[in-house]
């Protein structure tokens, strides 16, 4: 018997939220709250929904490789097997709209005051200073249906080109976050 699955709801960008924050040691996404609830119940962070676009979430991928062996089986096919490779990383990419340094300052490095009053200088690449641990959650809230994607213990691996005159007329920059498969979560409201 075949059961048809017809979507009763499609999620839209206007219903989306994106949060980013720092997390310490241990599991942030436990079973005491929803993925989005961790920002309500204790993780400090920022809702950056008004400052991001082009969000793409790529779940971890499991790859298999064919191994050819000597001989053939009883059906005259060459002996073969599938070799499972390690599970890949989860990735989140987004474009940030830049308006102030606070959008990136908490996640790039600790700032260093310059000799000129009122300026702070940031650097990327000093692993002792800016190895970032972040929690990102993207959620579409729709009345009684909700879907969330969480990256726990994530790392920002790319601060892309800064487009001073982007196609929409504002400054923008692409970012990429990664995490291990064990730190990536889907969550659907039943």
108-160 pLDDT, tens digit each: 555 555 556 777 666 666 554 444 456 666 666 555 677 788 888 888 888 88
* pLDDT computed for residue 108 by the predictor: 56
184/27 Cα distance (integer angstroms): 12
The domain locations on the chain are: 15-62+89-188
51/18 Cα distance (integer angstroms): 9
Nearest to 86 by CA among 172, 163, 182, 158: 182
108/57 Cα distance (integer angstroms): 21
105-114 pLDDT, tens digit each: 666 555 555 5
Q: How confident is the model at residue 26 (pLDDT cuts 50, 70, 90)?
A: low
Average pLDDT over the chain reads 77
How many angstroms separate the Cα of 50 from the Cα of each of 27, 143, 184?
28, 21, 24
Q: Where are the beta strands (DSSP E) in the chain?
A: 16-22, 45-47, 52-58, 64-72, 78-84, 90-97, 112-113, 120-121, 134-142, 145-163, 172-179, 184-188
Q: Which residues pair with 68 in a beta bridge?
A: 80
Q: Report, as an integer, the average pLDDT of 13-22.
A: 77
Q: Quote the tokens at residue 134.
A: 């972040």
pTM summary value: 0.77
CATH topology of domain 15-62+89-188: Pnp Oxidase; Chain A (2.30.110)
64-99 pLDDT, tens digit each: 999 999 999 999 999 999 999 999 999 999 888 877
Q: Which percentage of the chain shows pLDDT scores above 70? A: 69
175/186 Cα distance (integer angstroms): 21
């Amino acid at each position: 018997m075949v059961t048809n699955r017809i979507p009763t709801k499609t999620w839209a960008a206007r219903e989306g939220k994106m949060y980013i924050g720092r997390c310490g040691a241990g599991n942030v996404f436990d079973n005491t709250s929803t993925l989005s609830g961790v920002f309500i119940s204790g993780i400090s962070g920022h809702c950056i929904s008004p400052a991001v676009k082009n969000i793409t979430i790529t779940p971890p991928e499991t790859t298999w490789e064919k191994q050819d062996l000597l001989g053939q089986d009883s059906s005259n096919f060459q002996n073969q097997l599938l070799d499972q490779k390690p599970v890949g990383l989860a990735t989140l990419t987004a474009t940030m709209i830049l308006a102030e340094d606070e959008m990136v300052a908490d996640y790039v490095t600790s700032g260093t005051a310059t000799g000129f009053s009122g300026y702070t200088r940031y650097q990327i690449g000093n692993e002792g200073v800016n190895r970032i641990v972040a929690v990102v959650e993207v959620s579409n809230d729709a009345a009684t249906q909700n879907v969330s994607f969480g990256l726990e213990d994530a790392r920002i691996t790319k601060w892309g080109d800064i487009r001073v005159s982007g196609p929409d007329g504002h400054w923008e920059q692409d970012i990429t976050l990664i995490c291990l498969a064990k730190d990536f979560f889907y969550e659907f409201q039943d």
